[in-house]
Structure 1
Amino acid sequence: MLVRSLTLAALLIVAGPVLAADSDAPLAQELGKSRPLVIIAPSAADPTLRGLNEALMDPATQAAFKERSLVLFTVASMLGKREDKPLDQQTTMALIRELKLGASSGTKVILVGKDGERHVLKDDDSGGRVEPQTIFKAVDELPASEKAVTASAPVAATTDAKQGKPGKPAAPPKPPKPLED
């Protein structure tokens, strides 16, 4: 009994921080599902941020954004948003920590692929805009291996190859036997 308790305690000590880190990591939640586009600006009046928000008002740009599975994360004056919905402070800080960016005063535009690979599109304080076409071109130039990444989906029912009929779904695994003391 003591051995089991010590083993469980050791597992919780090791797995606790790992599970806690994943729970508030916004980019990890998007992994395999979408491509986050992260804009970190010193203020909400930043020309890059404003220009992209204005461009997203256009229905054609919105459609192209959705077609490429892009999700917009913005951080301006330490206030984070995901698709214009506010993020809490802890989630905003987790987003910044997850990107592992160095200190700078300029605007950063980072495209994160479905596979988690980061591509910096802009990292300066020149005040220039990043056009949506530049973002779309960067997404279209991603390697084929990144485009093949998808979120893990539930296993579908098998099909009978001889008749083409749907087969039975796989049986759930049996629960493990209890340990004997």
Structure 2
Amino acid sequence: MLIRSLTLATLFAVSGPLFAADSDTPLAQERGKTRPLIVIAPSSIDPTLVNLKKSLDEPANKKAFQERNMVLYTVVNLMGQRDGKDLDAQTTMALIRELKLGVSGETKVILVGKDGEKKLDHLGPIETRVVFETVDQLPAAEKEAMPPPPPVVETPPAKGGKAAKPAKPPQPLDD
């Protein structure tokens, strides 16, 4: 009996994180909310990365970037950032695994839609105009994609015959 219990406990301990990893990936958390623009560069002085960041810092492009509900992920030498804030190593590796990238020495620019699908996969330099045009050409259904609402749980009436107040949905976490 003890061996069965230990085997079962070991199975749960090993398989639990594997099931949880599917929903904890950065792109899964962005799904339905924003469009991630991911730049994977071999170094921080890569011309594509530097030019893209400089272009996105211009006021007109910054406003257009925000209007399109986009977020910038950068991965340089396995060090990830989301909008300039550092990501931990696990989150960065989860992002790389989720994108299913091959080995490449070139800079890669990937645009992921709100539906979680790749909309643009480009090697080398790219202009922000091309990224914005790609977003503007997306079908209306993708543009208005929203995360599914949380399920409504019906509660039985309390002893006094009054219905209980429905619980508020949980608030999303801020970065």
Q: C-alpha deviations, 1:143-169, integer Å up to 9, x for none?
A: 2221131123468xxxxxxxxxxxxxx
Deviation at 1:15, TM superposition (A): 7.1
Q: Would the aligned equivalents of 2:120 and 2:134 in 1 still touch at CA under 8 Å?
A: no
Q: How many percent identity over aligned positions?
A: 52
- Following superposition, the deviation at residue 116 of structure 1 comes to 0.7
1:163 equivalent in structure 2: none
Q: Which residue of 2 aligns with 1:167?
A: none
Q: Moved runs in structure 1, 4+ residues, more than 4 A?
A: 11-15
- The match for 2:127 among 128, 131, 152 is 131
Tell me the C-alpha RMSD between the 2 structures: 2.6
Q: In the superposition, relative to structure 1, how do residues 171 and 18 fare at CA in structure 2: closer, same or farther (>3 Å)?
A: closer
CA distance in 2, matches of 1:105, 1:138: 25
Q: Which residue of 2 aligns with 1:162?
A: none
1:120 to partner: Cα distance: 3.1
Give the TM-score normalised by structure 2.
0.75
| Runs of 5+ consecutive residues of structure 2 not aligned to the other structure | 158-175
**Aligned partners of 1:22, 1:153: CA distance in 2, in Å?**
16
TM-score between both structures, scaled by the size of structure 1? 0.73
Match of 1:149? 145
Structure 1, unpaired ranges of 5+: 156-169, 176-181
User: For 1:36-68, what per-residue CA distance to the aligned partner results, in whole angstroms no more than 9, with x for missing partners?
Assistant: 000001111111110111112211111100000
Question: What code does the residue aligned with 1:18 have?
Answer: F
Q: Name the larger-Rg structure.
A: 1
- Structure-2 change in CA distance of 1:68 and 1:174 (3 Å): same
Q: Deviations over 1:2-33 (max 9, x none)?
A: xxx9xx98x9589722223322x101100000
